[in-house]
Amino acid sequence: MMNIANLGQFVIDGNEPGVIENVNLLVAGKADPITIINEGLLSGMNVVGEKFKSGEMFVPEVLMAARAMNAGMDIVKPLIADNDMPSLGTIVIGTVKGDLHDIGKNLVVMMLESAGFKVIDLGIDAKVEQFVAAVKENDADIIGMSAMLTTTMTYMQEVIKACEAEGLDVQYLVGGAPLSPGYSEKIGAIYAADASGAVDTAKKLVGDSVMKEVMFA
């Protein structure tokens, strides 16, 4: 029988047929679907995130790994009731208005999903109203915004102001080539340098809000 821990290596290698074959074997062997996800697919993807952060893996290899992981997810997800799907929190994400660059944002989406977040992806050219509506509809914890241009990054502040005006209890995670920690702080957001950093920061943000709820309950 296939070992769940080895499944992670197929993900790391971006071996989609290997992942499909072995997830099917595990399912046939009555392995717990949530364990397949957590200890096989997601743990493999976490290693990918670390290797991307440390410069051992690059965009092509990360995309291949994500593709392989998603193929495994497609098999396992129908076996799990919606409420049982592990979720660290909900993130609404998009490349902001006027900006069409989405390679980085797509990587962040994959990494966040791999880490166990529910991600609502607004795609490119995302406008204030879309962010506000998606946060309300999904009771999101975090808004993630990406920009590749110095001119479009200023739109992030408009999104933040609109959410504050609506009284939404949400935190802001931003990234993209022209962003910096200093600028992000100025607009009231937290900066993530890369996709792995986005996951670490998102976990921290969600953890912080859980702590707040506990403290002020």
Q: Is 14 in the site for other proteins (CB under 8 A)?
A: yes
CA dihedral of 107, 61, 57, 123, whole degrees rounded to 10: -10
Give the three-class secondary structure for 100.
coil
CB of 94 to other proteins, least distance (A): 16
Which stretch, 1-9, 28-36, 96-104, 155-163, contacts other proteins (CB under 8 A)? 96-104
Q: Give, as ranges, the residues between 64 and 93 that touch other proteins (CB under 8 A).
A: 64, 67
Instruction: Report the interhelical angle of 59-76 vs 16-28 (nearest 10°).
Output: 20
CB of 125 to other proteins, least distance (A): 9
Site size with other proteins, rule: CB under 8 A: 27
CB of 188 to other proteins, least distance (A): 16
Q: Is 206 in the site for other proteins (CB under 8 A)?
A: no
**CB-facing half-sphere around the CA of 171: CA atoms within 13 A:** 19
Dihedrals φ, ψ of 95, to 5°?
-85, 130
Strand partners, 190: 173
Alpha helices in the chain (DSSP H): 4-12, 16-28, 33-35, 43-53, 59-76, 103-115, 128-138, 155-165, 181-186, 195-216
Instruction: Report the interhelical angle of 103-115 vs 195-216 (nearest 10°).
Output: 50
User: Could you give the string, one character per residue 153-182, with x where binding to other proteins holds by CB under 8 A and - elsewhere?
Assistant: ------------------------xxxx-x
Q: Is 103 in the site for other proteins (CB under 8 A)?
A: yes
Q: Is 55 in the site for other proteins (CB under 8 A)?
A: yes
Q: Is 44 in the site for other proteins (CB under 8 A)?
A: no
Which among 48, 28, 45 is positioned nearest to 37, based on CA atoms?
45
Q: Is 101 in the site for other proteins (CB under 8 A)?
A: yes
Q: Is 98 in the site for other proteins (CB under 8 A)?
A: yes
Q: Give, as ranges, the residues between 108 and 147 that touch other proteins (CB under 8 A).
A: none
Please say which residue, 101 or 203, places its beta carbon nearer to other proteins.
101
Residues interacting with other proteins, by CB under 8 A?
14, 55, 57-61, 63-64, 67, 98-103, 106, 149-152, 177-180, 182-183
